[in-house]
Amino acid sequence: MDETTEEINNDELYEHYKFTAAEGQEPLRVDKFLMNFIENATRNKIQQAIKAGNVLVNDQVVKANYKVKPHNIVRVVLSHPPHENLLIAEDIPIDIIYEDDEVIVLNKPAGMVVHPGHGNYSGTLVNALIFHFENLPKNSNERPGLVHRIDKDTSGLLVVAKTEFSMANLANQFFERTTKRLYYALVWGNIENEEGTIEGNIGRSLKNRLQMDVFPEGDFGKHAITHYKVIERFSYVTLVECKLETGRTHQIRAHFKYIGHPLFNDERYGGNKILKGTTFTKYKQFVENCFKVLPRQALHAKTLGFTQPVTKELLSFDSDNPEDMRLCLEKWRNYTINQK
At position 299, the amino acid (one-letter code) is L
Give the pLDDT score at 53: 87
CATH number at residue 314: 3.30.2350.10
Structural domain for 279, as ranges = 179-340
Distance CA 68, CA 35 (A): 13
Mean pLDDT to the nearest integer, 120-149: 86
Domain stops at, among 78, 94, 112: 78
Domain count, the chain: 3
Tell me, yes or no, whether 249 lies in a domain: yes
- Mean predicted confidence (pLDDT) in 159-182: 94
DSSP bridge pairs for 306: 315
Residue 2 domain-assigned?
A: no
Mean pLDDT over all residues of the chain? Answer: 89
The predicted-structure confidence for 286-296, as pLDDT tens digits, reads as follows 999 999 999 99
* Residue 186 shares a structural domain with residue 172: no
- On whether both 121 and 108 belong to a single domain, the answer is yes
Q: Bin 52: left if φ > 0, else alpha if -120 < ψ < 50, else beta.
A: alpha
Question: Cα separation of 59 and 142, whole Å?
Answer: 28
pLDDT higher than 90, residue 77: no
- Classify residue 3: in a domain, yes or no: no
Contact 203, 213 (CB under 8 A): yes
Mean pLDDT of all residues in 1-20: 56
* CA gap 100, 130 in Å, rounded: 17
Is 61 in the same domain as 94? Answer: no
Q: Is residue 248 part of a domain?
A: yes
331 lies in the same domain as 184: yes
Residue 8 lies inside a defined structural domain of this protein: no
Of 108, 13, 142, 160, which is closest to residue 319 (Cα–Cα)? 108
Q: How far apart are CA 79 and CA 12, in angstroms?
A: 6
Query: 304: which residues sit within 8 A by CB, 6+ positions away?
Result: 105, 156, 157, 158, 159, 179, 180, 181, 316, 317
Model confidence at 18, pLDDT cuts 50, 70, 90, reads confident
Q: Are residues 189 and 328 in the same domain?
A: yes
Is 73 in the same domain as 143?
Answer: no
Q: What is the pLDDT of residue 138?
A: 85
HSE on the CB side for 243, CA within 13 Å?
Answer: 13
Q: State which H helix or E strand residue 299 sits in.
A: strand 299-307
Q: What is the pLDDT averaged over residues 174-199?
A: 95
C-alpha count within 13 angstroms, C-beta hemisphere, residue 151 = 21
Virtual CA dihedral for 132, 135, 140, 143, nearest 10 degrees? 20
Residue 1 lies in a domain: no
Domain end marker among 159, 176, 193: 176
Query: Mean of the pLDDT values across residues 38-43?
Result: 74
Are 184 and 305 contained in the same domain? yes
Q: What is the CATH number of the domain that holds 58?
A: 3.10.290.10
pLDDT at 230 over 70: yes
Domain check: are 189 and 335 in the same one? yes
Residues 201 and 328 in one domain: yes
Q: Does residue 5 lie in a domain region?
A: no
Is 151 assigned a catalytic role?
yes
Residues 335 and 208 in one domain: yes
Domain end call among 78, 100, 118:
78
- 102 and 171 inside one domain: yes
How many other β-carbons are positioned within 10 Å of the β-carbon of residue 48? 11
Please name which of 229, 257, 244 lies closest in space to residue 148, comparing C-alpha atoms: 244
Q: Is residue 305 part of a domain?
A: yes
Average pLDDT, stretch 89-104? 96
Residue 192 shares a structural domain with residue 319: yes
Q: Which residues of 52-77 are buried (b: 16+ CB within 10 A; e: fewer)?
A: ebbbbbeeebbebebebeeebebbbb
Per-residue pLDDT tens digits for 281-333? 999 999 999 999 999 999 999 999 999 999 999 999 999 999 999 999 999 99
- Which residue in 11, 91, 151, 153 is the catalytic one? 151
